[in-house]
Amino acid sequence: MAAKKKKKTKKTSKKPVSVVTGAAGFLGSHLADLLLKKGHRVIGIDNFVTGRVENIDHLAGNGDFRFIQQDVTEFLFLQGDVNHVWHFASPASPIDYAHLPIQTLKVGSLGTHKALGLAKEKGARFFLASTSEIYGDPLIHPQNEDYWGNVSTIGPRGCYDESKRFAEALAMAYHREHKVETRIVRIFNTYGPRMRLKDGRVVPAFVSQALEGKPITVFGDGSQTRSFCYCSDLIDGIYRLMMSDYDLPVNIGNPNEMTILEFAQEIIRATSSKSRIIRKPLPTDDPKQRKPDITRAKSILKWRPKVKLADGLERTIDYFKRRIES
């Protein structure tokens, strides 16, 4: 009698599960897109204080995306496995954290605590979206990850700067005490579609003013410097860091530095605007220089920005044109 052949069973690979706080924000929504593209199931969390429904509208009906409207400073309870927790929730523009100083401090402290608690409970890897603002108004240039910063704890920007500095310290405490795998990125100026027109950051401010024919407002004499990284480059670097074995902070940004006055002139050219440039007093504690040293990212992550400023601005300006016209 012939032996019965065993039925072949189809192998199925379980998709990794990623929780993204701040998923309806500018960067959180772009991260959700990348994770879905890479085969993750994504659970997005946002309370829409600064995030927007339209940033994730296109994910409606996607079986791998689930959205929870919740304040992350409250207890995060999720059933099932979680492999990665990406903590992006926070106001991120000077206008936002000037209006929401206490909420900014709470999401950086209590929100980070709750997100780390979820990662600890699930045995998940934790990612913190920190910021170049932890360097304050820097005394070294460019800024590398070993620099401790020059921050005013009591100044108007202190609520954001110190919330992120505390978040980094808390993440490292969980890493050392509870053995949570943590990853920390320090994000430098980033731009692209899904930024809010009136969020106060320099790119949407200059672009919206230029498109509407309004004067472009430069604070101070315009000699302060910034460097601008397109969102797809940043998200690529963030993903590489999360999937790496490196547990100390890493700068991600574009090191091509320019003055704010030069950037205003670039926006006028890119939009073919007739806007003129006007000047107003420099805000308190506004950093005079901002340029990342990305040696660590290039060495450890094999990452460097690819999108040229002209190309990134073209995509961003097209997005803002549609927003203004709609």
Percent of the chain with pLDDT over 70: 96
In the residue annotation, 160 being an active-site residue is answered as yes
Domain extents in the chain: 17-191+229-254+291-306
139-149 per-residue burial string, b: 16 or more CB within 10 A, e: under 16: eeebbebebeb
Instruction: Note the pTM of the prediction, 2 decimals.
Output: 0.93
Query: Model confidence over 110-143: pLDDT tens digits?
Result: 999 999 999 999 999 999 999 999 999 999 999 9
Instruction: Give the β-pairing of 125-131 and 182-187.
Output: parallel
Query: Model confidence over 286-318: pLDDT tens digits?
Result: 788 889 999 999 999 999 999 999 999 999 999
Q: What is the pLDDT of residue 297?
A: 98
Q: What is the pLDDT of residue 38?
A: 98
Rounded Cα distance between 309 and 318, Å, is 14
Cβ(114)–Cβ(73) below 8 Å: yes
Query: Model confidence over 71-95: pLDDT tens digits?
Result: 999 999 999 999 999 999 999 988 8
Q: What is the pLDDT of residue 282?
A: 83
Q: The tokens of 236 are what? A: 């690529």
Please pick, among 97, 160, 174, 191, the residue that the annotation labels catalytic: 160
Q: The tokens of 259 are what? A: 């003055």
Rounded Cα distance between 23 and 68, Å, is 10
List, in sequence order, the alpha helices (H) in 152-199: 158-178
Q: What is the pLDDT of residue 198?
A: 82
Query: Model confidence over 32-76: pLDDT tens digits?
Result: 999 999 999 999 999 999 999 999 999 999 999 999 999 999 999
129 alpha-carbon distance from chain centroid: 6
CATH class assigned to 17-191+229-254+291-306: alpha beta
Rounded Cα distance between 15 and 17, Å, is 6
